[in-house]
Structures are given as C-alpha cells and as structure tokens.
Amino acid sequence: MKNKRIVIALGHNALGTTLPEQQAAAVHTAKAVAEYVAQDYQVVITHSNGPQVSMIHTAMSEFARLYPEYTATPMSVCSAMSQGYIGYDLQSALRCELIDRGIVKSVATLLNQVSVDPLDEAFYKPT
C-alpha cells in the first residue's frame, strides 16, 4: 500500500530537559520511527518544546542582564531556536538510524509559527 502516512507527536516530557537527555531520547525515537519508514510510511514528527524554550529564554535573559549592550531575546525567537535544535537532534538521529538500516530516504526539519486568536475565550481563564 503506497502513500501511508503517520504523524507522531512527542509530548512535553518526551525529549527530557537537558541536552544529553534530549539526544538520547532522539536516538530512542529514531529507532521507533525507522520501523515505520521501513514499512514505507511517510512520517511527520511534531514535538513540544516547553522545557527547551524555557531554558533558552532564561539563558538569553540572563545574558542580556549581564551584558546590557545586548538586547533581550523575544520568546518567539527563543521558540525558533528550540525548534531548530530539537529538529536537528531528531533529524540527525533518524538519518543515522536509516543509514544503519540501509534505508535511503530524505529527512528534513521544518520550523513553524502558530497564529493564535488573542480574543480566544480560553485566554480569559487559563489553566
């Protein structure tokens, strides 16, 4: 059967909270994803970035505090940074796993932006 697709969503804690934990989780995830690729699925991986973006924002804010000649980094830019390095780790791990299995497939990372309605009623009573 051609054109089989699967979306894998990695939740908040799936990637750990430190770089070594994330790299190990990416390798573990790549092994599972490679199983689907071997079955000829097209795979999309989505992921949370809460712990990572928080660490980046904290680090960048502290840096700007210590070095006033640098401006603070907006959360949106910190989010793009975290998407980039999470994507890089996942992409690298998956590429290595596919090569180890003799599977020749492209692997790509895409960054995204989400538009949120500022008038959404959920913002009035956040949980």
End-to-end Cα distance, the chain: 43
Domain annotation covers residue 98: yes
Domain annotation covers residue 101: yes
pLDDT in tens, 63-79: 999 999 999 999 999 99
Rounded CA separation 9/32 (Å): 13
The domain total for the chain is 1
Number of residues assigned to the chain: 127
Domain annotation covers residue 32: yes
Domain annotation covers residue 123: no
Per-residue pLDDT for 85 more than 90? yes
Per-residue pLDDT for 123 more than 70? yes
Per-residue pLDDT for 1 more than 60? no
pLDDT of amino acid 96 = 97
User: Is residue 97 a contact partner of residue 35, using CB atoms and an 8 Å limit?
Assistant: no
Q: Measured between alpha carbons, how far is residue 47 from residues 6, 28, 77, 107 in Å? A: 14, 15, 17, 16
Three-class secondary structure assignment of 61-89? HHHHHHCCCCCCCCHHHHHHHHHHHHHHH
pLDDT of amino acid 58 = 95
Domain annotation covers residue 120: no
pLDDT of amino acid 116 = 86
Sign of the Cα torsion 91, 96, 99, 101 reads negative
Domain annotation covers residue 125: no
Q: What's the mean pLDDT when you consider all of the chain?
A: 93
The domain in which residue 23 lies consists of 4-109
77 φ, ψ (degrees, to nearest 5): -70, -40
Domain annotation covers residue 58: yes
Rounded CA separation 94/31 (Å): 7
User: Is residue 33 a contact partner of residue 72, using CB atoms and an 8 Å limit?
Assistant: no
pLDDT in tens, 27-74: 999 999 999 999 999 999 999 998 899 999 999 999 999 999 999 999
Domain annotation covers residue 116: no
